[in-house]
A and B are shown apart, each in its own frame.
Chain A
């Protein structure tokens, strides 16, 4: 059977085509958005950690950096180690600010300030904060903010390419320590290119048994929160995939039922079951390819809109890269093949004349 025949079959079954197309667009868009947004969260946080340290020190046996408390007095000892360039400390917390329910609060040592590019004002001193540009415009009071029942003067506005930072508040380490009752959430260590990372890690680790020292790359790879986000995204994507599969299989079952006499005639004419299955899958793949392109464009538009919704403070930030495109494309093809194969194959096991009679 020629491709013209396949195209004509698609055209002649407009409602079925539209239903499969819509199911696929919704499913593929869901998979694109779920995966890209969860990857975006991981990417933003890991970029934030990687940009200021080759080594990360957190409290031992703590699964989340939010709950980690590391004594900063150790920083003086770390600075003495040969090959260490810079040691900085960071507190990561969250608090409501004005009407915004949750804002990332960063307490940073002074040597970290340069990562926050000032748009206006100056870096914060005691009782001062700088505000990320994506939330600054949403503040009613542009001069001071109330965090944990304490007033802070807004000394400047900064911008960052990392959404979590751009939608956050930065203050000095001491003020953040007073709010969150800790010394630091983590200590970040920059080392010389020529220095041995493993050696420095073991030297730092030997200083205190209450700390956990890892290379930033290893930390990111093994961070439990990232694993949870990845697994959640995978499970939700899998559910979306199964729902799409069920939708396609149901529509295909109805379509095959409607077209039984057509398949019966084809079999009576001597067209093999393989060719009929191939033509049905080809119909699905043509619709699927169109739906994939639409879903890709649609997902990019949604992500663009999400990035520019002030209320989301830049925290929801997804990007569709080539790997994701390939992964979703393969998923789409699998959905179509498995969704079509079972109903068609089941129908074609019946004698041609029975197909013709049932189709009537």
Chain B
């Protein structure tokens, strides 16, 4: 499903990631834990093709990232991304945000997805008219709308209270199980990470299995 070899990434002189090697299987729920600045977000960005690594190789769904001809289309078809700050587009309604990049054949499933996430009644509202927890659910719906094979979530609960955090994490677990979607979550919350199939720890740009 996902395989990285010797990934290194540098921001100017600073090394954010060093020699990362990782393999993630299909349908696996993976948590990457670590302190702020440990390199979790950079790793997730690279794994999801949102950032090109300075060095190393990334294999996604059997394809080497550098060999993918249309990376935007590949991302649209296979990858969902949930950010810490929902990043919804303020001038679009909840429904328009979710369907912004959706394939026509998936449009018919949006309503049931909204119902499943408990935000169906909010579909005509604008992001500034709903709460933080609701916005994050909209962001989850947007990430899932195209039925991706892998979902990346970078601190998806970092901006939420404990109840909303638990709800979001629970939803991600259900999705991973029900739809056989690979979910990779970066979090600093060890307690939440315990529910993942596999936990990795990031420390100063290095990755290791969490024991």
Contact = CB atoms under 8 A, between A and B. Distances in A.
* A and B assemble together: yes
Interface in A272-297: 272-273
Contacts of A159: none
Interface in A331-360: 351-354, 356, 360
Interface string B85-105: 101011110001000110000
A270 B73 CA distance: 6
Interface in A1-59: 1, 4-5, 8-9, 11-12
The SS class assigned to the A binding surface is helix
Contacts of A269: 75-76, 81, 100-101, 142
Contacts of A266: 100-101
Interface string A319-337: 0000000000000000000
The SS class assigned to the B binding surface is loop
Given A271-B101, A351-B52, A5 B87 contact: no
Contacts of B87: 261, 264-265, 356
A268 B60 CA distance: 16
B91 A272 contact: no
Task: Among A11, A261, A262, A269, find the residue whose CB has the most chain B CB atoms closer than 10 A.
Answer: A269
B61 interface: no
Contacts of B76: 269-271
A270 B83 contact: no
B56 to A, nearest CB: 15
B67 interface: no
B45 A271 contact: no
Interface residues of A, number: 25
A352 B77 CA distance: 16
Contact of A12 (B45, B73, B90): B90
A234 to B, nearest CB: 41
Contacts of A270: 72-77, 79, 101, 146
A145 B50 CA distance: 82
A261 B83 CA distance: 12
Nearest to B52: A351
A214 interface: no
A268 B77 CA distance: 11
Interface in B89-141: 89-92, 96, 100-101
Contact of A5 (B50, B74, B79, B92): B92
B70 interface: yes
B51 interface: yes
Given A269-B100, A269-B101, A269-B142, A9 B73 contact: no
Given A267-B72, A351-B51, A353-B50, A12 B91 contact: yes
B75 A268 contact: yes
A4 B95 CA distance: 13
B51 A271 contact: no
Interface in A244-271: 261-262, 264-271
A360 B76 CA distance: 23
A253 B52 CA distance: 25
A354 B75 contact: no
A351 B89 contact: no
Contacts of A272: 70, 72-73
Nearest to B72: A272
A8 B72 contact: no
Interface of B: 45, 48, 50-52, 70, 72-77, 79, 81, 83, 85, 87, 89-92, 96, 100-101, 142, 146
Given A1-B100, A268-B50, A351-B45, 11 more contacts: A11-B91, A261-B87, A265-B89, A267-B50, A269-B81, A269-B142, A270-B74, A270-B76, A271-B72, A271-B76, A271-B100
20 contacts: A1-B100, A4-B96, A5-B100, A11-B91, A261-B87, A265-B89, A266-B100, A267-B50, A268-B50, A268-B75, A270-B72, A270-B74, A270-B75, A270-B76, A270-B77, A270-B79, A271-B72, A271-B101, A352-B51, A356-B87
